Amino acid sequence: MVKLLFYCSRTTTHKFQRLSRAVTQVAGGEDIEICITLTSLFPGLKAYSSASDLAVLVAVTPAELERFYHFRDILQHMDIILIVPDNKKATMHKGSHLFPRFITSVENDFLPIESVLKKMIQRSHLRNLKARTNLKFHGAPLSR
C-alpha cells in the first residue's frame, strides 16, 4: 500500500474542494492522510520516510511555500506534487528546489494532477513490489 499525504489549507473554495475530491478519488485504495494546517503537516510528514511515499502539497500563499522548506529534508525522500501560489518565475524556481515530480500553480487548472498522481501511485506500487522481491539472503546458508 502506498502512503499519500495531502496538504491544503484552503478547503472552502470550490476549486480546492474539487482538487481534494480528485486526489482522494485517484488514491482511493491507498493510505491517505489529509492535513489542513501546517501544525498538523509536520507530524504527518515525520511518518513518511519511504521512497514509495507520496505527497500532494498546496502552497496557497508564499508563506506556506516558505514553510515547506523547513520540511525539505523529509520531502527529498518522497515523490511530491507541488502546487505553488502563482505562476511567477521566481515562485516556480523556488518551488523547484523542493524537487517535486510535478509542479503547477493555484492559478492553473488542476486537471493534469489526476493523471500524474495515477502514474506516481503505479510507480510506487512497482517500487514496493521490487523491494519485496529483491530481498536477498546475505551470508552462509543455514544448515541442519
Element (H, E) at 45: helix 38-46
Sign of the torsion formed by the C-alpha atoms of 96, 98, 101 and 102: negative
For residue 95, give the nearest of 54, 53, 64 by alpha carbon. Answer: 64
pLDDT of residue 16: 87
Assess if residue 64 is contained within a domain: yes
Assess if residue 133 is contained within a domain: no
Q: Compute the distance between CA of residue 15 and CA of residue 26 in angstroms, rounded to an integer.
A: 17
Domain range enclosing 28? 3-128
* 144 residues of the chain, pLDDT tens digit each: 788 989 998 877 888 888 988 898 898 878 888 888 888 887 777 776 666 689 999 999 999 999 998 888 888 888 999 999 999 999 999 999 999 999 999 999 888 999 999 999 988 888 877 777 765 555 555 554
Q: Compute the distance between CA of residue 121 and CA of residue 116 in angstroms, rounded to an integer.
A: 9
Sheet with 102-105, side-by-side order of all strands: 31-35, 3-7, 54-58, 79-84, 102-105
How many domains is the chain partitioned into structurally? Answer: 1
pLDDT of residue 120: 92
Assess if residue 141 is contained within a domain: no
pLDDT of residue 78: 86
Element (H, E) at 131: helix 111-133
pLDDT of residue 83: 95
Assess if residue 140 is contained within a domain: no
Which CATH number fits the domain that encloses residue 85? 3.40.50.2300
Assess if residue 77 is contained within a domain: yes
How crowded is residue 38: how many other Cβ atoms within 10 Å of its Cβ? 15
Assess if residue 58 is contained within a domain: yes
Assess if residue 24 is contained within a domain: yes
pLDDT of residue 2: 83
